Structure 1
Amino acid sequence: MELREFFGDIWGKLSKEEQTLFLESARLVSYERGTVLKNSTDQCEALYAVTRGILRVYMISEEGREVTLYQLKEGDFCLFSASCILSRIPFPLLVEAQTDVTLYRIPAQVYQSVLQTNIAVSNFTSGIMSNRLADILWLVDQILFKRMDSRLAAFLCSQSELYHTDTLTLTHEQIAAHLGTAREVVSRMLKYLQSEQMIVLSRKEIRLTDKESLSLLAGDA
């Protein structure tokens, strides 16, 4: 994807100078799977526009437990990587390459300079932020009010759709990090799903054999 494609219709609402500023300042870079692009102590440096691969945005508790807030794929903007441009208060979030990724890095100060003067970019940014906050509120609802078996079924279904495969290469520990729970809980729930013939477990792989039943178990999770 070219950088202008990320902005959609609002690209035409940028001045020639603003378009040139974005095009000349953005850098196309690649990262290997597992690379932490941003940790919770990083300064506000850049926004990410994903052209290939998947990013994971997550938090870590004081006890070291992780929980995935949302995932970003091709065509998505990662605004929270430079959240200080919005509130001037950095969010303690981490961004990790869940696969090999290629993305544009847009300097935070460049984006902020256009954001402050162009109402179209301001509205565009507000829309993205609203969607991300909705994702986080949905996650809070899941953690507080949904059963773990439903959350796990929903997670497996979503990953199958995201990666376009019914065979997921995930460890129990990785799933626990996504869901913000203990590995032992995930192992117990996976064994239950296997006993119900919804999945088949093997070393570092989970094959979804009955996605219809998994979807029913997931419900509105």
Structure 2
Amino acid sequence: MNTALLLEKYGQIFDENLIQEIAQIGIFKTFKKNDIIIDINQTLKFIPLLLSGNIKILREDDEGNELLIYFLEAGETCTMSLTCCLGISRSKIRAVAEKESSLIMIPVQYMERWFHNNESWRNFILESYQIRFDEMLDAIDTIAFLKMDGRLYKYLLNKSQLYNSKSIAIKHQDIAEDLHTSRVVISRLLKQLENENKIKLSRNKIELI
């Protein structure tokens, strides 16, 4: 168990007793970029707490097309997996490592116990639900009310914030998959954004201006 990382990311969130318990029962795991951490229809036996890296949460339609729902950053958990654990149902999302990531996997039986007897855990769960709910509303608004060029630019702004950099290393095909459209459409809209002086394009890299 990487206790130093645990304290760094969750020391201000959880009380000392909970930190010690997580360090004792948690399972430390690392994932490479594009590794699937949680898959659709998977029975969940662990709750992930993200220590480092980023994770993207995806939904899939009946034809196997993926749609990006939101990103997770260090110090967060996936509330959709929490919901599945509470309802003892299978996962309805796919969680994929956006880059090399490390997590602590908490056995699900501790989730309900801590919710009732640990205030810091209860507050963390409730706040996580609120954050994810707001992000999903934002995702719905983006899909419903923004044209694809607006969705693309918002996606790039979110990526820039996620990586804390105006330079984003990403392929056009990867963007197309996240936004559930074609690479040709993305390439055309990126060129349009470049002509509007909002971005600068280079090979497998996009720089926000």
TM-score range, shorter chain: 0.7 to 0.9
Correspondence list, 1:62-211, <5 A: 62-118=62-118, 121-208=121-208, 210=209
TM-score, with length taken from structure 2: 0.86
Root-mean-square deviation (Å): 2.3
* Identical columns (%): 25
Q: Assess if the C-alpha contact under 8 Å between 2:11 and 2:19 holds in 1.
A: no
Higher mean displacement: 160-169 or 109-118: 109-118
Q: Which of the numbers 15, 29, 32 marks the counterpart of 1:11? A: 15
Q: Tell me how far apart the structure 2 counterparts of residues 130 and 86 of structure 1 sit (CA, whole Å).
A: 17
Residue number in structure 2 paired with 1:2: 6
Q: Assess if the C-alpha contact under 8 Å between 1:28 and 1:105 holds in 2.
A: yes
Cα pair distance change 1:186/1:4, threshold 3 Å: closer
Q: Give the paired residue count.
A: 205
Q: Tell me how far apart the structure 1 counterparts of residues 133 and 88 of structure 2 sit (CA, whole Å).
A: 17
Distance apart, 1:92 and its partner CA:
1.0
Q: Tell me how far apart the structure 2 counterparts of residues 184 and 127 of structure 1 sit (CA, whole Å).
A: 39
1:23 counterpart SS class: helix
Q: Tell me how far apart the structure 1 counterparts of residues 145 and 67 of structure 2 sit (CA, whole Å).
A: 16
Q: Are positions 1:37 and 2:37 aligned together?
A: yes
Q: Note the residue ranges of structure 2 that are not aligned, 5 or more in a row.
A: none
Residue number in structure 2 paired with 1:25: 25
TM-score, with length taken from structure 1: 0.82
In the TM superposition, structure 1's runs of 4+ consecutive aligned residues that sit over 4 Å from their partners are 116-120
